[in-house]
Amino acid sequence: MTVRDIQRFSEVRYQARAYLCYLFTRNLQNHMPEPVLEHVLTRLDKIAHEVDSFEALYVLDHKGEQVIDNISKTRAFVAGKGTDRSSKAYFYRTVKEKRCVLTDPYPSSLTNDLCVTSAFPLYDDKGVLLYVICIDISLKDVLRISGMTKLDTFSANFSKVIYTLFSIALFLISSVVFFHGIENLIFSGLNLSAINIEELFRATILLTLSLAIFDLVKTIFEEEVLGHSKKERMGIHKTMVRFLGSIVIALAIESLMLVFKFAAKEQTENIIYAVLLLAGVTFLLIGLSVYLRLVDKKKVKRDCFD
C-alpha cells in the first residue's frame, strides 16, 4: 500500500461507505422490540457470505466491549471476545453520529496492513443503543469493491514503471550536464590570473540546466511514482516556474556570452544574433509573467469559493 492508494480511497470513500451501510441496513432490522444477539448473529452470517473478502466481522455492546469472537474466513482471526473497543474511533463516532460510519485507513491489528472499519449502531424500539456492528476490510479490498479493478491496478503500476524509467533517464541527463558543468568550471579556474570568461559562463549555463532538469525529475518521481501529492494548490505551478525560470536564466547567460565573444573578436556585425536572443528571452519573461498572473487570478477565484 502506498500514499496513492490512500488518495484513491479518498476518491471512492463515499461509494464504499454507501455500499457497506446498504449492506448493514438491508440485513439488520433496526429499532426492533428486542433485537436478541442470536438474531443479530444470524444476519451477520448472511453478510459474511455476501462480502467476498473481509478481515473480521464482530459485535460490540453499548459500552464498546466485544461480545463475540470475530467472524472471519481466516481461522487465526477468530478471537477477540471481551476486548474493550470503546476508545476506537469507529465506536464513538457511530455512537455520537447515530449512523453508519466508515473510518480512515489505519494499520490492522490482525494483518498489520492498512484497513478500514465500518460501524453500524443497532437500537431497540425505544431508541436505546444495544449493539454496534463492525466490519474490518483491507484497503485493497475496499478499492476493489468500490470499482478499482485489476485493470486499474495494472494501469497504475504500469504508469509507475514508465515514470520511473523517464525519471532515471532524465536524472542521467542531469548528471551528465552537471559533470560537464563542473568540468568547464574547473577548466575556467585553473589559471586565476587569466580566467576564461566563456568557459565560466558555459559552466553556469550547464549547472543551471542541470538544476532545472533535476527539479523536474524530483517532482515527477515524488508525485507519479511515490504518490506524494503536493497539498499546496500552487505546487505544480511553482515547479513549472522554477523550470522555466532556469531556462530563461540559461538563455540570458548565453546571450551575454555571445556579446562578450563577438565584442572580443570585433565581430560587431554578429552582435545582432545576441540581441535577437535577448529579445527571445524578453518574450519568455513576458509569457512567464502572464502565466503567473493568470494562475494567481485562478487561485483567488478558488479561494473565494472555498
pTM of whole model > 0.75?
A: no
Residue 261 sits in which domain range? 150-305
Residue 286: pLDDT above 50? yes
Grid coordinates of 88: 476506537
Q: Which residue has the higher pLDDT, 263 or 249?
A: 249
Lowest mean pLDDT among 166-170, 251-255, 279-283: 251-255
Give 114's strand partners.
107
The distance of Cα 7 from the centroid of its chain, to the nearest Å, equals 5
Single out the residue in 124, 145, 166 at which a domain terminates.
145
Q: What's the whole-number mean pLDDT along residues 62-71?
A: 93
Q: Is the same domain home to 53 and 167?
A: no
Instruction: Between 172 and 51, name the one with better pLDDT.
Output: 172
Instruction: State how far the Cα of 211 lies from the Cα of 205, in Å rounded to an integer.
Output: 10
Residues 232 and 258 in one domain: yes
Number of domain units in the chain: 2
Mean pLDDT of 111-133: 90
Say what the pLDDT of residue 137 is: 92
pLDDT at 232: 45
In contact, 66 and 56? CB cutoff 8 Å:
no
Q: Is the pLDDT of residue 175 over 80?
A: yes
Assess whether 210 and 90 both reside in one domain. Answer: no
pLDDT category, 28, cuts 50, 70, 90? confident
Bigger pLDDT: 280 vs 72? 72
Between the CA of residue 74 and those of 18, 205, 262, 274, what are the distances in Å?
26, 62, 79, 74
Assess whether 141 and 155 both reside in one domain: no
Who wins on pLDDT, 236 or 198?
A: 198
Q: Among 108-112, 144-148, 241-245, 249-253, whose mean pLDDT is lowest?
A: 144-148
pLDDT for 233: 45
Supply the pLDDT for residue 253.
Answer: 73
My answer on whether 121 and 220 are in the same domain is: no
Do 234 and 194 reside in the same domain of the chain? yes
Can you tell me the mean pLDDT for 191-208?
Answer: 69
Asked if 257 contacts 201 with a C-beta cutoff of 8 angstroms, the reply is yes
Confidence of residue 306 (pLDDT cuts 50, 70, 90): very low
